[in-house]
Amino acid sequence: MDQLWTPWRMKYLENEAHPEDCPFCLALKDEKRADSHLVFRGEKTFVILNRFPYATGHLLILPLEHQEKLSELDQETRAELMEMINHAMEVLQEVYQPNGFNVGLNMGGAAGAGIPKHLHWHVVPRWSGDTNYMTVAGGVRVLPELLEDTFLKIQSAW
């Protein structure tokens, strides 16, 4: 039997055992740590590299305020979120030249939010022909670049 080792996932699994600890808020508190992958901190929002990406360059855009409903955010925060989403796509276009993007918000556990208590938008660059059967058949994602390299490229372009 072949084995696929993914030791980096243990942090994710351990966090599931302590759902009261928001990994996004923890990254903000300790933003100087190299593994926080904090790309940018704005006045009301921040951008972080997804630790468990669907594709290389998968970013998360979040309000600084720990909220689970869009209606709980003020107008200025909602406006800054949209500007950050737009800027994230511009940066990813410059760095990786994708053919398109998936941008989305899963609000609530029933909608698929892995961390439903802190709103976060996914910005995922996509390329023509980038889908494969590894994810469908094997439950495995193939990423051509280390997260640290992705982070450095995106942060320097931001």
Q: What is the pLDDT of residues 5-42, one digit of tens each?
A: 667 666 655 655 455 688 899 888 876 766 789 999 99
Q: Is 58 a catalytic residue?
A: no
Considering only residues 156 and 12, tell me which one the structure prediction assigns the higher pLDDT: 156
147 touches 37 (CB < 8 A): yes
- Where residue 87 falls among pLDDT bands split at 50, 70, 90? very high
CA distance 6 to 143: 12
Q: How far apart are CA 25 and CA 118, in angstroms?
A: 9
What would the two tokens of residue 61 be? Answer: 């855009």
d(CA 101, CA 98): 7
Q: What is the pairing mode between strands 38-41 and 121-126?
A: unpaired
State whether residue 148 is helix, strand or coil.
helix
Select the more confidently predicted residue: 152 or 57: 57
User: Picking from 7-11, 43-47, 116-120, which range would have the lowest pLDDT averaged per residue?
Assistant: 7-11
Mean pLDDT throughout 80-105? 97
Helix (H) / strand (E) containing 147 = helix 147-157
Q: What is the pTM of this model?
A: 0.79
Q: What is the pLDDT of residue 1?
A: 47
Number of domains within the chain: 1
Does 2 map to a domain?
no
What is the domain range of residue 109? 7-157
Question: Are 131 and 123 a contacting pair, CB within 8 Å?
Answer: no
Rounded to an integer, the average pLDDT of 44-52 is 93
Instruction: Name the catalytic one among 37, 58, 120, 122.
Output: 120
Quick check: is 1 in a domain? no
Mean per-residue pLDDT, 115-131: 89
Q: What angle do CA 154, 150, 15 make, to 5 degrees?
A: 105
Residue 53: CATH number of its domain: 3.30.428.10
Per DSSP, 109 falls in state G
